[in-house]
Structure 1
Amino acid sequence: MAASPVFGHVGTAQPGDLFASRLELSLRGQHRPRRAGVGATAALGAESIVLAEQYEDDAYHDDHFWYAGSGGRDPKTGRQVTDQAPNDYRNQGLMRSERTGQPVRVFRRIAPGGDRQFRYEGLWQVVAHTYGPGKSGFQVFRFKLKPWQ
């Protein structure tokens, strides 16, 4: 596993590549956290995210998506139960990436329980964010990502 964040492609991975598990993503340095959806540091930015398509404030479109920030979720249900904290390092990392324009690797969960569960979606860029009431009424960050150019 890499000692510091890598922004951009890692190794020979290309969009469309499939990975068996979060453990494989972590061991190959693609998405270092084994559980968290955001691989980031507040100081350097977000290097990768995993789209699990299980959070009510995420929204997917043909040319962009909105990714709900980190924190405030019940660990068992995934439902938002409190406000997200602005000082969460993962949210700060995504905001830092918005300021710097650096690419973020995106992985999508495609087949829960299947042989290959995650697909590499390529490099994306955080282009905007909001902080306001989500669908459950709690304050949440939402980050807009578009394909990196």
Structure 2
Amino acid sequence: MSQPAFGHVGSYRPGDTFRDRLTLAASGVHRPRRAGVCGTQQLGAESIVLAGQYEDDEFGEEEIRYAGNGGRDPKTGRQITDQVASGANLALLKSAETGRPVRVLRKVPAEDGGPDVYRYEGLYRVVGSSYGPGKSGFRVYVFRLRPFDF
């Protein structure tokens, strides 16, 4: 396992694209092949991926609202229970405390019309969070991220 890295990795910069999760993991920009959050509750989140999996995610120009992890049905992808304070959610809560940069990646359509790709959006800071009813009625964590201001 690679060492935690906060900030840009290697020569990768915003706008760079990756054809799939394996390529993304190999680059080190987002190491987990499936999980949407890379990080630990001790150090915080290094990177996140918005892949259209959670109905409460919103990607805006000035702010991202990133739904926490858990509570989804593995077959349908629908929220079926409340999320809990564990794993990835604790990593994102820690990031709000530390102020360390979080790399943000987003699944987007490929420019050539091929399969979707993962685009590196840049460095963001977790500026706050809430825990309450999401669109499904179940309680979810929603993390607010804004572009990192150096």
Q: Distance in 1 between matches of 2:105 and 2:80?
A: 26
Match of residue 104 from structure 2:
106
Match of residue 119 from structure 1:
119
Match of residue 92 from structure 1:
90
SS at the partner of 1:96? helix
Unaligned runs of 5+ in 2: none
Q: Distance in 2 between matches of 1:40 and 1:127?
A: 17
Unaligned runs of 5+ in 1: none
Cα 1:76–1:114, aligned 2, differ >3 Å: closer, same or farther? Answer: farther
Match of residue 28 from structure 1:
27
Instruction: Map 1:7-22; keep pairs closer than 5 Å.
Output: 7-22=6-21
**Are 2:33 and 1:54 equivalent residues in the alignment?**
no
Instruction: Map 1:124-139; keep pairs closer than 5 Å.
Output: 124-139=124-139
**RMSD of aligned residue pairs (Cα, Å):** 1.5
Identity %: 58
Q: Distance in 1 between matches of 2:40 and 2:128?
A: 18
Give structure 1 regions of 4+ aligned residues with deviation exceeding 4 angstroms: none
Q: Is the 8 A contact 1:19 1:116 kept in 2?
A: no
Q: Distance in 2 between matches of 1:144 and 1:115?
A: 29
Q: TM-score, normalised by structure 2?
A: 0.92
